[in-house]
Chains A and B, each alone.
Chain A
Amino acid sequence: QKEVEQDPGPLSVPEGAIVSLNCTYSNSAFQYFMWYRQYSRKGPELLMYTYSSGNKEDGRFTAQVDKSSKYISLFIRDSHPSDSATYLCAMSSLTGNQFYFGTGTSLTVIP
């Protein structure tokens, strides 16, 4: 079983829609949870970072962590065509020496 599971999509939504992206994980030691955005032929860039459970909001982006279900989500409100990218979840334990990534979800926002 992989440490982190993520639906690869692809996901296609109209402009202005709310997007929901999800990951599940198996290691209960994970405490740091991250979402990265990766544009085509570029390196990943950090979008959101949360520690332990709860919600975190930053502009149009909201990250949720449910440790009891081992499930994390990223919501994008009022989606724009510029949000079209691959979104990767990542997580690590308290020691943080190894980071585990999901396979990424490809998102297209149609104007």
Chain B
Amino acid sequence: NAGVTQTPKFQVLKTGQSMTLQCAQDMNHEYMSWYRQDPGMGLRLIHYSVGAGITDQGEVPNGYNVSRSTTEDFPLRLLSAAPSQTSVYFCASLRRGQETQYFGPGTRLLVL
């Protein structure tokens, strides 16, 4: 199993540009989530999904959209990038009942 994969590893955007961060898992996990990690702030939940077709907001959802059309994929969209969205983004997945989140390697995003 590849586990949780994320692409790209690193991205530079200009203010106002849009992009999609990709996340995929091959463990057939129902639950998937997106976090951002900033110095001194820890991991903060952006959006999560408990299954295909079901998404919900986390702690810091503004400026981000998600969709979940398949069990495997959970892309995160930045509609109009802002410098405040400069961060490291982690995707995670979990099998309900085990409460063990598996994290991807992260995407480093710099918004100029």
Contact = CB atoms under 8 A, between A and B. Distances in A.
B103 A49 contact: no
Contacts, number: 57
Contact of B106 (A43, A92, A99): A43
Contacts of A43: 4, 90, 92, 103-106
Contacts of B43: 44, 88, 90, 101
Interface in B56-112: 56, 58-59, 90, 92, 96, 99-106
B53 interface: no
Chain B binding surface, main DSSP class: strand
A88 B92 CA distance: 15
A107 to B, nearest CB: 15
Contacts of A104: 42
A6 B99 contact: no
A32 B7 CA distance: 30
A105 B59 CA distance: 21
A99 B102 CA distance: 13
Contacts of A34: 99-101
A36 B92 CA distance: 13
Interface residues of A, number: 26
A96 interface: yes
A98 interface: yes
B106 A42 contact: yes
A43 B90 CA distance: 7
Nearest to A8: B40
Contacts of B92: 43
A103 B41 contact: yes
A29 to B, nearest CB: 15
B50 interface: yes
Given A34-B100, A41-B106, A44-B103, 12 more contacts: A36-B103, A43-B4, A43-B90, A43-B103, A49-B100, A88-B43, A90-B43, A97-B48, A98-B48, A98-B59, A101-B35, A101-B43
Interface of B: 4, 31, 33, 35, 40-45, 48, 50, 56, 58-59, 90, 92, 96, 99-106
